[in-house]
Amino acid sequence: MGFSMKKLWAVLVVLLVELGVRVWGSSVSQAVIGAKADLKGSMQEKAERETFAAPDWSVYHKTDEILDELRELDETCNHMRLEPAAVPGVDDSEVPLVVVLGYNVKNRLREMVSSAFQSKTRIVAVFGEHGRELITSEVALKVVQDICNGEGTDAETARDELQRSEVHLVPVLGASSRRLAEMGEYCERLNSNGVDLNRNWGFLWGKTDTTTIAEEERPGTEPFSENESRAVKALVESVRPDAFVSVHSGDKAMLLPWDHRPELPDRDEYEKMGKVAGIVAQEHCESCQIGNVYKLFGYNAFGTAGDWAFGSAKVPYTYTWEIYGDFSSARDDCFRMFNPADQETYNEVLANWSTSFFTLAAAIHTANERLNAIPLPKQLITNGQNRASTPSRRYGFASEWRRRGQGGIEPLLARSYGVLLLEFMIALMAVFAFTAVALYLRKSASKSTSRSMEPFKLA
């Protein structure tokens, strides 16, 4: 009885060892296959990735080219008006340009008459808050070009929408930051004063919490210390828009308030914003996630444009749109991470987003008239949910990449340490099991021989 029990144990141990070896073997062979694939992939991509991607300036526009082109369009386009943002005490030449899009908006008399009879849906949209997100200002230019010169049904629909809406664009808010990116600082997100414009706003300005990487926060010396954020503050306060959109890149998402905390705002307000975002996503970004920063990316941000617009200026539809991101890009390959690196994708992003602001305006009309008819989008994050599960998202890998790629956690490294640890533990288990079997076999062997050969007495 005792013997067969031991035999059973031995079989069990052998099976365990076998399992351990198999798992270990397969994980090793998988690692080898993976390493081979990595090597092959990296050899293929080596040539193009060895030198990081850089903008093709026959496709992308320098900041001054964008501003020049806007001025040129302004000479002939009746549906736009170009004006410097008003910043108290700052010279016009130092402030961002604002494009007002409206049906025949150049004709001020007609505009006065029409706005006396109709209250228009007003949108303020800012682009290029972070310099490295070059593509956002390209989208802004395309929006204006399409309204002024676009042909086809999409452009017609957009112009029609302008009969009852008005879109105020700030095509290049962070011009000094974009110019740094243009000179080769492809990871630059700060302006020429070293300030992150999307932390410079007067709503919970300068606060931090456990999710803050303190050395990466550059909120400025005080709330609205920068011309750029003051300019938009003045614009929002004079236009009093129905919607505020801060356009960014690095991911594909429509962010709703709040930026500074995990909890969602008042449920009715949140769902209203979510429904309208759902309509825009359906037409312009099917893969966009919809939720707040913490639940999607895993950190809180203080002093942001969105929180100020929603919390202080009480703009009912407040969004941060993340219009493009390349997750496969290597760390530090910031141009590729935040911008399409080939012309085909560039054109796709422009085509996908160029009429999105008019879809937004139309969706707000619909929401104001019959909110109940609009379904909640499937991808809308609710209070219990949290999608910031992967390390890249948890540390804001894509959308809030650190300045010039310095410091922080390397998610890939963390992952391979995990695999190594697992392999080590499996190997350890196998060694223990082998030792146990060997000891048992030796013990039973010495038992079976002990009868014929008397062992030496040692004491």
Among 230, 248, 252, 393, binds Zn ion (CB under 5 A): 248
Residue in the shown chain whose Cβ atom is closest to ligand NAG? 227
Measured from the CB of residue 370, what is the shortest distance to ligand NAG in angstroms?
A: 25
Distance of closest approach, residue 205 Cβ to ligand NAG, in angstroms: 18
Shortest distance, position 133 Cβ to Zn ion, whole Å: 5
- Provide, rounded to whole angstroms, the least separation between the CB of residue 322 and Zn ion: 8
Looking at 158-166, 242-250, 257-265, 382-390, which segment touches Zn ion (CB under 5 A)? Answer: 242-250
Report how far residue 222's alpha carbon sits from residue 48's, in angstroms, rounded to the nearest whole number.
42
Considering the complex, state which of residue 137 and residue 165 has its C-beta at the smaller distance from Zn ion: 137
Taking CB under 5 A as the rule, does residue 403 contact Zn ion?
no
In the bound complex, which residue of the shown chain has the CB atom lying closest to Zn ion? Answer: 248
Give least dist CB 175 to ligand NAG, A.
7
Which of 166, 182, 271, 322 is an active site residue?
A: 322
Tallying the residues shown for the chain, one arrives at 459
In the list Zn ion, ligand NAG, none, the entry touching 90 (Cβ below 5 to 8 angstroms by class) is ligand NAG
Residue 248 interacting entry, from ligand NAG, Zn ion, none, C-beta within 5 to 8 Å by type: Zn ion
**286 binds, options ligand NAG, Zn ion, none, Cβ within 5 to 8 A by partner type:** ligand NAG
CB within 8 A of 107, min separation 6: which ones? 78
Among 120, 130, 178, 233, binds Zn ion (CB under 5 A): 130
Q: Quick one: 370 exposed, middle or buried, by C-beta within 10 A (0-12, 13-18, 19+)?
A: exposed
Distance CA 222, CA 146 (A): 38
Binding site partner of 348, from ligand NAG, Zn ion, none, Cβ cut-off 5-8 A by kind: ligand NAG
Closer to ligand NAG by Cβ: residue 59 or 421? 59
Q: Which residues bind ligand NAG (CB under 6 A)?
A: 90-91, 94, 176, 191-193, 227, 285-286, 324, 345, 348-349, 352
Shortest spacing between CB 343 and ligand NAG, in angstroms: 12
Q: Which is closer to ligand NAG, CB of 208 or CB of 221?
A: 221
Selected range binding Zn ion among 14-22, 40-48, 85-93, 123-131, rule: CB under 5 A: 123-131
Binding region for Zn ion (CB under 5 A) out of 14-22, 124-132, 292-300, 403-411:
124-132
| C-beta closer to ligand NAG: residue 121 or 354 | 354
- Per partner kind, with CB cut-offs from 5 to 8 A, the member of ligand NAG, Zn ion, none near residue 209 is none
- Of 187 and 315, nearer to Zn ion (C-beta) is 187
CB of 321 to Zn ion, least distance (A): 10
Determine whether 237 is an active site residue. Answer: no
Give the residue numbers annotated as catalytic, written as ranges: 322
Contacting positions for Zn ion (CB under 5 A): 130, 248
